[in-house]
Amino acid sequence: MDAKDKTLGERVLHAMLYELCAMALLVPLASLAMDEGVLHMGVLALMMSTVAMLWNMVFNALFERLERRFGWRRGAAVRSLHALGFEGGLVVMLVPLAAWWLGVGWWQALLLDLGFFVFFLPYTYVFNWLYDHLRARFAARPGLAAAAVER
């Protein structure tokens, strides 16, 4: 099973798992770093997560088209390009949101976003690597896959 076999439902599941795991790790850390309440940072994280989930689905679909068109394999170089492209697009979308919500200037929001980037760059690489490997294992077990579909 390769990337072109992903359904919309799987893309939604992938994006939601990605964001939920990230938020569980990042919200408490950001709350401490910004000296903001967990709830205030949690709401910002939820807004940012919504933007990121939509971007995740769009970006991954486009990136997988590039992979097919150019015959790329997901080695370290392609995974790094994927992570950089994904995170770079988020910077453009999320800095204005963070500046507005936290009532800070664009520079402070950019620094916060760069801190998120430092977190998310390796997180994106590792999460997608794990997801791809677990997906391949799951797909290799037809009985397990069929039982999951029936539930």
For residue range 43-76, what is the model confidence (pLDDT) as tens digits?
Answer: 998 998 889 889 988 999 999 999 999 999 989 9
**Both tokens assigned to 94:** 């999320």
User: Measured in Å, how far apart are the chain's first and last C-alpha atoms?
Assistant: 21
Helix, strand, coil % in the chain, rounded to nearest 5 = 90, 0, 10
pLDDT score recorded for residue 42: 92
pLDDT score recorded for residue 77: 93
In whole numbers, what is the pLDDT of the chain averaged over residues?
Answer: 86
Report the C-alpha gap between 99 and 112 in whole angstroms. 9
Report the C-alpha gap between 100 and 98 in whole angstroms. 5
Residue 16: pLDDT over 80? yes
Residue with tokens 């077990």: 141
Percent of the chain clearing pLDDT 70 (strictly above): 91
Spans of all domains in the chain:
3-142
Q: What is the pLDDT of residues 87-122, one digit of tens each?
A: 889 888 999 999 999 999 999 899 888 888 888 889
